[in-house]
Amino acid sequence: MSVLVYVEQVDGKFKKSVFEAVSYAKAIADNQGGNLTAIAIGNVDESELKALGNYGASKVLNVTNDQLKNFVNQAYASIIAEAAKKENADIVVLSNSFSGKGLAPRIAVKLKAGLVDGAVELPKTDGGKFSVKKIAFSGKAFAITELTSAVKIIALNPNAFGVKETTGNITIESFSPEVKATDLTAIVKEIVRATNKISLPDAELVVSAGRGLKGPENWGMIEELADLLGAATACSKPVSDADWRPHSEHVGQTGIAISPNLYIAIGISGAIQHLAGVSSSKVIVVINKDPEAPFFKVADYGIVGDAFEVVPKLIEALKAHKG
Amino acid sequence: MKILVCISNVPDTTTKITFTNDNTQFNTAGVQFIVNPYDEIALSRAIELCEGGKGTVTVINVGESQTEPTIRKALAIGADDAVRINAAPRDAYFTAYQIAEYAKTTDFDMILCGRESIDYNGSQVAAMIGEFLDIPSISIIKKLDYDGSTATIEREIEGGKEIVSVSGKFVASCAEGTAEPKIPNMRGIMSARTKPLQAIEAKEIEQVSKIDSFETPPPRGTVKLVPADETAKLIDLLHQEAKVI
Ligand SMILES: Cc1cc2nc3c(=O)[nH]c(=O)nc-3n(C[C@H](O)[C@H](O)[C@H](O)COP(=O)(O)OP(=O)(O)OC[C@H]3O[C@@H](n4cnc5c(N)ncnc54)[C@H](O)[C@@H]3O)c2cc1C
Ligand SMILES: Nc1ncnc2c1ncn2[C@@H]1O[C@H](COP(=O)(O)O)[C@@H](O)[C@H]1O
């Protein structure tokens, strides 16, 4: 029994979601009595690779190849599938990130493997069945999905499992499978990344605002609140449709689905399509001037009031709290 | 140019999701089915790229005969013809295989999907089609330009975007931003009735997954309201009680 986890790097470093995926994969390996190998592609600092040991990986396959500096899912999928074969992996774990979504399905086809994406719990193996709970209907439900194939692939939702530290030794092994030219036909021309911003899908805290804010010029206080909290910013669909905010911030049924520890919704009514993407947040705070706003029905904490008065006061209170 | 657009048939976004048969089946009673919203975006971009006689758009759906109204809706929006693979889509692996097998019989320049179907939220079909056909797949795109042989694509990444260039055939899954969804007009609706819709039989492939049952999230407790002038109390509750800050 062996588990392989793909550790996605960004500029040679790992993000929290990677340590979460390793922690999750380690728990599976322990439950099934097996060992955990990680695979890293691109140029990752040695200290980063060693850090994977703190989350339970006993070996990391390190693929360094200048052709693979940028993410090309075809080539990456081939390498991960090769690694899975080499390690006789029964289970392959990835983060359900943007890249993970492009990668996992290709690996699944290569290994004739069933894939659960958006997993939110450890697999259950009752009665010889291997099943995993995943988000379905945009967060309005969960689907318990059984994987019936020999090799199984799981893409873990960010923030679903948490990071679990352990102690252990890790060996770094260089791995250099051949890369087919036909796997490199898509060419990355440019990467634009706002490094100072917390990315929404990974964020533990999210401050979100809707049409109640009246116009893009009023987002200053939303950003200030988010900065103070160390939160990412999000918005409702009409807000991004009107170009008040970028589409990448739009959450909900047709935007992205998130499950942060804290979701603060300001001037958002709580339409069913909006709730679909945010209702699996652990704690929801709603600020709305309408006490009848449907969002209050799914909120944990609420303030009925005008955002233009409440948010500046909240910022003051937060500053005071932080001292 | 020939573009194939994959359409899934999903419950309307306002649907209250319930299950029957001991939570093993989605309850379709009274549910309105629609073209998956992301597939509408993919279709709209395909139609834009083919405008002015530059090409044709074929829509494909893996589904049983009850999905035909949804396929007709896609024809009304502006697809030229349609194919239905006659089978209940048992999982993404099965669905992608059917679409890839069909695509092998016709010479498509690109295959467009939605970023995910809003029912099972797989985000799997597009990249699986790419792998079955051994062609590039770009997932979750926000922009697609095509000069007749090379596509320039903007793909979403955490906290930013990546610009990718692909020459030759490819698959992409479209998110918001790729196009404004088109709304069918009267002429579109009339002509959709007579556009070709071909049904073909599915092919067998090994089963790799199945859904055993569903769960609905536990209901939340009632909201704790804090007076508008006591924001410090809210911060305190989030810190002490909820322990999230
Ligand atoms: C197919 C489909 C898909 C959709 N997908 C999504 C999706 O993914 N995400 C999404 O968000 N929506 C989606 N929608 C739209 C959704 O139905 C709602 O229209 C939308 O969420 C409403 O956005 P809002 O709450 O910002 O605006 P509104 O509904 O206009 O609500 C504004 C709220 O602000 C409050 N307010 C006003 N002024 C103030 C103030 N000064 N202080 C405090 N509160 C104030 C009001 O009381 C109100 O509750 C979708 C719709 C369809 C049909
Ligand atoms: N049954 C189906 N028939 C045709 N296309 C589908 C079907 N299911 C999914 N797709 C396509 O694949 C995309 C992603 O779906 P999924 O992988 O199920 O989230 C959808 O947006 C559609 O474009």
Architecture of domain A2-184: 3-Layer(aba) Sandwich (3.40)
In chain A, residues with a C-beta closer than 8 Å to the C-beta of B133 are none
Residue A96 identity: N
Q: pLDDT of chain B along its 245 residues, tens only?
A: 999 999 999 999 999 999 999 999 999 999 999 999 999 999 999 999 999 999 999 999 999 999 999 999 999 999 999 999 999 999 999 999 999 999 999 999 999 999 999 998 889 999 999 999 999 999 999 999 999 999 999 999 988 899 999 999 999 999 999 999 999 999 999 999 999 999 999 999 999 999 999 999 888 889 999 999 999 999 999 999 999 99
| ipTM of the complex as predicted | 0.94
The answer to the question of residue B66 being in a domain is yes
pLDDT in tens, A189-199: 999 987 667 88
In a domain, residue B244? The reply is no
pTM: 0.95
Closest approach atom of ligand 1 to CA A308: 41
- What are the DSSP E strand ranges found in B158-208? 160-167, 170-174, 197-201
**B14: phi then psi, degrees, rounded to nearest 5:** -90, 0
Q: Considering the domain boundaries, does residue B224 fall inside one?
A: no
- According to DSSP, residue A127 is labeled G
Atom of ligand 1 nearest to the CA of B12: 1
In a domain, B230, yes or no: no
Distance of CA A216 to the CA centre of its chain: 27
A-chain CB neighbours of B167 within 8 Å are 185
Give the model's pLDDT for residue B83. 98
pLDDT digits (tens, 9 = 90+) for B9-67: 999 999 999 999 999 999 999 999 999 999 999 999 999 999 999 999 999 999 999 99
3-state secondary structure of A218: helix
Whole-number Å distance between alpha carbons of B5 and B39: 8
In a domain, B240, yes or no: no
Q: Which pLDDT band, with edges at 50, 70 and 90, does A317 fall under? A: very high
The separation between CA A106 and the C-alpha centre of its own chain, rounded to angstroms, equals 19
Fold annotation for A205-322: Rossmann fold (3.40.50)
Question: Which chain A residues are closer than 8 Å to B176 by Cβ?
Answer: 240, 247, 250, 254-255
The verdict on a CB contact (< 8 Å) between B165 and A189 is: yes
Pairwise CB contact (< 8 Å): A108 & B164: no
Residue B112 structural domain: 2-214
- For residue B185, the domain's CATH number is 3.40.50.620
Rounded distance, CA B23 to CA A243, Å? 41
Is residue B167 in a domain?
A: yes
Which residues on neighbouring strands pair with residue B111, listed in sequence order? B4, B171
Residue closest via CA to ligand 2's atom 9 equals B8
Atom of ligand 2 nearest to the CA of B112: 23
In this structure, the residues whose C-beta lies within 6 A of any atom of ligand 2 are: B 6-8, 36, 38-39, 60-63, 89, 92, 95, 113-114, 116-117, 120-126
Answer whether residue B221 is part of any domain: no
Number of compact structural domains in chain B? 1
Does B199 contact A at CB distance below 8 Å? no
- Would you call B225 and A139 a contact, using CB atoms and an 8 Å cutoff? no
Q: Is A236 exposed, middle or buried (0-12, 13-18, 19+ CB in 10 A)?
A: buried
Residue B87, C-beta contacts closer than 8 angstroms, at least 6 positions apart: B62, B63, B64, B94, B98, B201, B202
Distance CA A26, CA A104 (A): 19
Residues A26-68 have pLDDT tens digits of: 999 999 999 999 999 998 999 999 999 999 999 999 999 989 9
Within a domain: B209: yes
DSSP 3-state of B35: strand
The residue ranges of every structural domain in chain A are 2-184, 205-322
Tokens standing for residue A290: 């309408």
CB proximity list for B3: less than 8 A, separation 6 or greater: B46, B49, B50, B55, B56, B57, B58, B108, B109, B110, B111, B112
Beta bridge partners of A95: A156
**Are A105 and A81 contacting, i.e. CB atoms less than 8 angstroms apart?**
no
